[in-house]
Amino acid sequence: MIRTMKVGDTRAYERIITTQDVKAFGALSGDTNATHFDEVYAAKTIFKKPIVHGMLLGSLFSKIFGLDYPGEGTIYCTQSLKFLKPVYPDTVLKVIVAVKEIDVQKNRAWFTTEIFNAQDECVLTGEALLMPRKESLHA
C-alpha cells in the first residue's frame, strides 16, 4: 500500500452531522454536556445554540483512513486536533485528508486532516500518523 502513496494525495467526502448523530454520540461517549443538548443553556454561551462534540468531528477521518485511503488494515497511530470554529448540527461539512510525508522503510504516513463548513471556513485542523497495511510478500 505505502509504495503506491504519494505526497499530496488527497481524499475528501461531505457529511452532515444531525441532531440525532449528536444524541447518539453523547449516549455512546457519556458526554451529555448541556453545550451539546440544551437550547436554553447553549443560548447563554458564546455559541448561542448547541454545538457538535469536537471528538465526533475528529472521528470523521476514520471513514477515509479505514475504508478509502490507505484503506483496510490501516493502523491509526496518532491524531492531533485543533478546533477553530463551532459546528452546529445539520451543517454540511467537507472532510479532507492529504498525505504530508511518507517513510516507506518504517511503513509510516503523515497526513494533514481538515474539516470545512459550507462557508469554506476551516473548523478543525490537525495531523494524523498512520501505518498502512503491509503489502503481501507474495503479491
24 located within any domain? no
115 located within any domain? yes
**pLDDT band (50, 70, 90) for residue 136:** low
114 located within any domain? yes
**How many beta carbons lie within 10 A of that of residue 25, not counting itself?**
19
66 located within any domain? yes
- Mean pLDDT for 7-18 is 98
* Structural domains counted in the chain: 1
Q: Is 23 exposed, middle or buried (0-12, 13-18, 19+ CB in 10 A)?
A: middle
pLDDT at 138: 47
Q: What is the mean pLDDT of the chain?
A: 95
Q: What is the tens place of the pLDDT at every residue in 14-72?
A: 999 999 999 999 999 999 999 999 999 999 999 999 999 999 999 999 999 999 999 99
pLDDT at 134: 81
pTM of the model: 0.92
| Lookup: cell for 51 | 454545538
The CATH number given to whatever domain includes residue 98 is 3.10.129.10
139 located within any domain? no
38 located within any domain? no
In whole angstroms, give the CA distance from residue 114 to residue 68.
16
125 located within any domain? yes
Q: Tell me which residue range forms the domain holding 95.
A: 2-17+52-131
In whole angstroms, give the CA distance from residue 33 to residue 28.
13
